[in-house]
């Protein structure tokens, strides 16, 4: 009886798997594609054992020719050094994998020339859809290429024509964090955030202003710097150097919040006794800062899963889906934190 050719000899094919499992290639196809016909549990296990032993990987090109799908999802982000984007990409990858798909990552570095090349590159690789968690300088790129390829915007406040948006209610999250600081008795609460291109507005900034005004609290001039640790550091130094410095600071992101913590420490002030701090995003970075940041957490997993579902099964009309945020209370605001591993 002929023995199957191992992966060391040549590229393992479906025929090799079928020979080792003692089944037809059609049965291997049913197992790999989870249908269209059912396979008996014992036979299915033999096929899966052969796939593992031979390290068989289905040919994506063949799959695309047969099904019209590559199982690839393009994901475009400006960077991955920022923990927010890193965790979002990880959530999208997990959601795609759980649905039998994989992701191709494109990083724009907020460079217009890179943006112009990334989208055609993803399309040329046959992606089944594209998720954008970025702001492209050339808005036409959101719709460039094959119009049949579905697109979705992740966590974006300003819509793009005919594209669905999946995000979290950033305004509500900022309001929760700001009001939580006010509930601690703080009357002067500062804001540190990053810039938004005109005419876009930051829902976090607007919610902070509204929350203070609705309580009859003063609305100090916000510190608008950059969306990173250095921006948080510089923004907090600005606030603390003012004649009437705040006793609490809301940071528009966890990364900014970490920079705020450093500036407060360097000023010789105690957190939260002298200056309380809260942020927004709920990344792992917020849980392991010192002190751990109270933060409004975005539901990355739910957002990512919904985005992938929209790409794999596009809706007839564009949707705007916003998820509620949860306030994760830790010690930076003055609340006690339960002992043990920080919640993320």
Q: Given this model, what pLDDT does residue 343 score?
A: 52
CATH number for the domain running over 69-168+300-323:
3.40.50.2300
Q: Is the pLDDT of residue 7 over 80?
A: no
Q: Tell me the pLDDT tens digit for each residue of 126-179.
A: 899 999 998 888 888 888 888 888 999 998 766 777 889 999 999 999 999 999
Is the Cβ–Cβ distance between 251 and 224 less than 8 Å?
A: no
pLDDT confidence of 4, banded at 50, 70, 90?
very low
Sorted by where each begins, the domain ranges of the chain are 14-58, 69-168+300-323, 170-297+326-333
Q: Tell me the pLDDT tens digit for each residue of 29-67.
A: 778 766 667 888 889 899 889 888 888 766 554 554 454
Is the Cβ–Cβ distance between 260 and 233 less than 8 Å?
A: yes
pTM, 2 dp: 0.77
Could you tell me the sign of the dihedral formed by the alpha carbons of 290, 295, 301, 305, in that order? Answer: negative
Return the number of other C-beta atoms located less than 10 Å from residue 340's C-beta: 6
Q: Given this model, what pLDDT does residue 280 score?
A: 97
With 0-12 / 13-18 / 19 or more C-beta atoms within 10 angstroms meaning exposed / middle / buried, residue 79 is middle
**Alpha helix locations (H) across the chain?**
14-21, 25-32, 41-54, 60-67, 83-98, 112-124, 170-183, 203-214, 229-240, 254-266, 284-287, 300-312
Q: Given this model, what pLDDT does residue 5 score?
A: 44
The residue-averaged pLDDT of 216-244 equals: 96
Best CA proximity match to 253, nearest among 291, 200, 293: 293
SS3 state at 281: strand
Q: Given this model, what pLDDT does residue 157 score?
A: 64
Distance, CA of 76 to CA of 103 (rounded, Å): 10
Residue 101 DSSP one-character state: -
Check if 14-58 and 69-168+300-323 are the same fold. Answer: no
Pick the CATH number of 14-58 from 1.10.1760.20, 1.10.10.10, 1.10.260.40, 3.40.50.12500: 1.10.260.40
Q: Tell me the pLDDT tens digit for each residue of 184-215.
A: 999 999 999 999 876 567 899 999 999 999 99
> How, if at all, do strands 326-328 and 294-297 pair?
antiparallel
Secondary structure (DSSP) of 322-334: EE--EEE--GGGT
Per-residue 3-state assignment (H helix, E strand, C coil) for 194-250: CCCCCCCCCHHHHHHHHHHHHCCCCCCCCEECCCCHHHHHHHHHHHHCCCCCCCEEE
Residue 290 DSSP one-character state: S
Distance, CA of 264 to CA of 158 (rounded, Å): 33
Q: Tell me the pLDDT tens digit for each residue of 270-313.
A: 999 999 999 999 999 999 999 999 999 999 999 999 999 999 88
Superfamily of domain 170-297+326-333: Response regulator (3.40.50.2300)
């Amino acid at each position: 009886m002929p023995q199957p050719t191992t992966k060391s000899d040549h590229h393992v094919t479906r025929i090799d798997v079928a020979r080792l499992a003692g089944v037809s290639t059609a049965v291997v196809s049913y197992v790999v594609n989870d249908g269209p016909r059912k396979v008996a549990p014992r036979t299915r296990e033999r096929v899966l054992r052969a796939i593992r032993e031979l390290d068989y990987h289905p040919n994506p090109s063949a799959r695309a020719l047969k099904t019209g799908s590559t199982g690839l999802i393009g994901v475009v982000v400006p960077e991955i050094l920022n923990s927010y984007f890193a965790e979002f990409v990880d959530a999208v990858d997990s959601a795609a994998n759980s649905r039998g798909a994989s992701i191709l990552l494109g990083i724009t570095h907020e460079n217009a020339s890179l943006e112009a090349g990334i989208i055609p590159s993803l399309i040329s690789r046959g992606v089944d859809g594209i998720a954008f968690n970025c702001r492209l300088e050339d808005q036409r790129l959101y719709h460039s290429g094959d119009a049949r390829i579905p697109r979705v915007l992740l966590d974006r406040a300003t819509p793009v024509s005919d594209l669905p948006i999946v995000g979290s209610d950033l305004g509500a999250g900022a309001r929760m964090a700001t009001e939580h600081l006010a509930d601690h008795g703080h009357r002067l609460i500062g804001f540190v955030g990053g810039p938004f291109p005109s005419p876009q507005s930051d829902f976090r900034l607007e919610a902070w202003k509204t929350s203070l005004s609705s309580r009859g609290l003063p609305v100090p001039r916000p510190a608008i710097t950059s969306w990173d640790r250095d921006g948080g550091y510089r923004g907090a130094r600005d606030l603390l150097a003012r004649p009437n410095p705040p006793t609490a600071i809301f940071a528009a992101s966890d990364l900014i919040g970490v920079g705020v913590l450093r500036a407060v420490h360097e000023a010789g002030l105690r957190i939260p006794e002298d200056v309380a701090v809260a942020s927004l995003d709920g990344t792992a970075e917020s849980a392991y800062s010192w002190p751990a940041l109270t933060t409004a957490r975005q539901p990355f997993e739910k957002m990512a899963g919904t985005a992938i579902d929209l790409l794999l099964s596009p809706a007839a009309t564009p949707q705007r889906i916003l998820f509620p945020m949860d306030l994760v209370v830790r010690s930076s605001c003055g609340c006690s934190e339960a002992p043990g591993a920080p919640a993320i």
